[in-house]
Amino acid sequence: MLSRSARLLHCVLSIAVLSLAPSAMAQTSDARGSLRLRPGDAILLELKDEPELTRVYTVGEDGAVLLPLVGLIRVAGRPIEEARAEILAKYRVELRDPVIRVTPLIRIAVLGEVQRPGLFPVDPSHTIGDLLALAGGLGPEADRGKVTIVRGAESIEVRLDGDFAGFQLALESGDQILVGRQSWLRQNATIFVGALASVAAAALTALIVR
């Protein structure tokens, strides 16, 4: 049985968690809803029963995407939900009861100690783990504790012991994920420890012989 003070503490913590949960969910929702594309990003347009129209369309330097039947639509710099609503509205004029899905694709660079560094177009639901998998996974000299997200002038350090799945941060167009390299000492820790053991054994042998 829990003591009265323990039960009181449990109630207080439960209330605190419940009060914080909606705020965290709102922040995640806001981050997704406020996503803005940039020139060079893309839109994946999927139309049911219209396979010839279903493909990826790149956002041009003018910030607009050229879509079949509806023409140019400016999407860069606008909240993605606003741009999506305009695209859907224009297709409803051209097609009868269309079933459409509009998915934004943002460009994320994965650099540093990964197997296949490069620039990847991904939908915003991708996690850091997903991006590292697209880049072929971590390289043999990668330091899992030196993962940095570079966003403009801001650098966000990611230090996780797991598979990065627990790190919740909405990705943005132009983000760079940089994977650092292990220090020389860490890379050669086994050799270094072995050498110290050999030196210690030699010293102990010398003392015994004396």
Write the CATH number for 124: 3.10.560.10
Q: Residue 98, SS3?
A: coil
Distance CA 23, CA 123 (A): 24
Co-location of 149 and 84 in the same domain: no
* pLDDT, mean of residues 114-119: 95
Q: Is 42 left (phi over 0), alpha (psi -120 to 50) or beta?
A: beta
Lowest mean pLDDT among 13-17, 106-110, 131-135, 176-180: 13-17
**pLDDT for residue 119 is more than 80:** yes
Tokens, residue 56:
């990826």
Give the number of other Cβ atoms within 10 Å of residue 128's Cβ: 24
Pairing of strands 154-158, 118-122: unpaired
pLDDT at 170: 79
CA 71 and chain centroid, separation? 32
Is residue 18 domain-resident? no
Give the number of domains in the chain.
2
Is residue 88 a contact partner of residue 102, using CB atoms and an 8 Å limit? Answer: yes
* pLDDT, mean of residues 183-191: 54
Co-location of 119 and 181 in the same domain: yes
pLDDT at 197: 62
Write the CATH number for 86: 3.30.1950.10
Model pTM greater than 0.85? no
The parent domain of residue 63 ranges over 42-98
What DSSP string runs through 167-185? Answer: ------TT-EEEEEEPPHH
